[in-house]
Amino acid sequence: MRLSKSRFTTGLQCHKRLYLQVHRPELAAQPDESQQARFDQGTEVGRVARGLFPEGVLVEAEPSEMNKALAQTSRLVADGKAPAVFEATFDHQKVLVRVDVLQRSAKGKRWKLIEVKSSTAMKDYYIPDVAIQRFVLEGSGFSVIPCQSRSEYLASSGL
Strands (E) across 11-154 are located at: 57-58, 84-92, 95-104, 110-114, 143-144
Per DSSP bridges, beta strands 3-4 and 57-58 are: unpaired
In whole angstroms, give the CA distance from residue 9 to residue 132.
9
The neighbour count for residue 58, using CB atoms within 10 Å, is 16
Q: State the DSSP H helix or E strand holding residue 141, giving kind and residue range, or none if neither.
A: none
Give the start-end residues of each E strand in the chain. Answer: 3-4, 57-58, 84-92, 95-104, 110-114, 143-144
Give the contacts of 117 (CB within 8 A, at least 6 positions apart): 45, 123, 126, 154, 156, 157, 158
Region of poorest pLDDT, from 58-62, 104-108, 146-150 = 146-150
What does the alpha-carbon distance between residue 83 and residue 103 come to, in Å, rounded to a whole number? Answer: 6
pLDDT tens, position by position, 31-42: 889 888 888 888
Nearby residues of 42 by Cβ (< 8 Å), 6 or more positions away: 118
Greater model confidence, 28 or 153: 28
Kindly report, residue by residue over 45-93, the tens digit of the pLDDT: 889 989 999 999 999 999 889 999 999 999 999 988 899 999 999 999 9
Half-sphere exposure of 15 (CA within 13 A, CB side): 0
